Homo-oligomer: A and B are copies of this chain.
Amino acid sequence: MTDFGTRLDHMRATAPLVHNITNFVAMNFMANVLLAAGASPAMVHAREEVAEFAGLAHALTVNIGTLDPAWAEAMNLAAQVMQSSGRPWVLDPVGVGATRFRQDVCGELMDRAPTVIRGNASEILALAGIAATGRGADAADSVAAAEDAARDLAQRTGAVVAVSGPEDFVTDGAQAYRVGNGHPLMPRVTVLGCSLNGVIAAFAVGAPALPATVAAMAYYGQAGEQAAARAHGPGSFQPAFLDALYTITGAELDAGAKVRAA
């Protein structure tokens, strides 16, 4: 894989409209991430309009962070629109191991054929039905421990499965890649993972899901590296990160991407 910069340039040229049904913690930062990257974000969730709006969007992200039944219904309605129209959508099963309610909702959402499933190791393990020790949005399990679960989940659902961690693991069940971009400050900033879903969705518009996901994660991690070089802690990291998403060029992305086949 070497065409990351082209994918970034294409995404920026088309500025896809990404519809996000995400948690309350993530909404503002995620919108800023998408705008800085060059996409067009929208947050819409009422059952009275969510399917109609999804019909206008190029891609969808669903994140169960601050879930409740009305939002779960909205997620299903919007995902159904994407499924039936063949447009990409990304599922982030935040804290799925923590409660029975999250497991039920994720079970239903997986029937809507997500294009990409992205989570930390504990979440991917929980989703694959393997006992995990997850708590909150932390990843108590290592990426390596979740690789078999990720391949299995990809084969079972047809989704590309991405495991976020110090080195990310991305697989479609057959091929797999590792993305080494990123920085240890990133888990000290909230909703960086949630916001990445939007960038993956934007890259996946009109593009095959596996290389789109890998390219989005390399770009995102590289922005994290640049931000960390300028930051004095997790506070100053945030503006520097958005600046980096905005300024990184396709050529820079190609030069700095740390991607290898797994």
Interface residues of A (CB under 8 A from B): 17, 23-29, 31-32, 35-36, 40-46, 48-49, 52-53, 56, 65-70, 95, 98-102, 135-138, 187-191, 231-247
Once bound together, how far apart are the Cα atoms of A238 and B4, in whole Å? 29
Q: State whether A31 touches B25 (Cβ < 8 A).
A: yes
A–B Cβ pairs within 8 angstroms, 28 of them:
A17-B135, A24-B43, A25-B27, A25-B28, A31-B191, A32-B189, A35-B188, A40-B135, A41-B136, A41-B190, A42-B136, A43-B65, A44-B66, A45-B66, A46-B101, A48-B69, A49-B67, A49-B99, A49-B101, A49-B102, A56-B136, A68-B70, A233-B242, A233-B245, A233-B247, A234-B242, A235-B243, A236-B243
Once bound together, how far apart are the Cα atoms of A244 and B240, in whole Å? 17
List 3 A-B pairs, minimum CB-CB distance, nearest first.
A235-B242, A233-B243, A235-B239
Contact among B25, B48, B240 for A236, CB-based, below 8 A? B240
For A45, list chain B residues within 8 Å (CB): 66, 68
Once bound together, how far apart are the Cα atoms of A43 and B65, in whole Å? 8
For A52, list chain B residues within 8 Å (CB): 98-101
For A48, list chain B residues within 8 Å (CB): 68-69, 99, 101
Shortest CB distance A92–B (Å): 15
Once bound together, how far apart are the Cα atoms of A99 and B122, in whole Å? 38
Once bound together, how far apart are the Cα atoms of A58 and B247, in whole Å? 41
- Complex: chain B residue closest to A47, CB-CB: B68
For A187, list chain B residues within 8 Å (CB): 35
Shortest CB distance A59–B (Å): 12
Q: State whether B191 touches A36 (Cβ < 8 A).
A: no
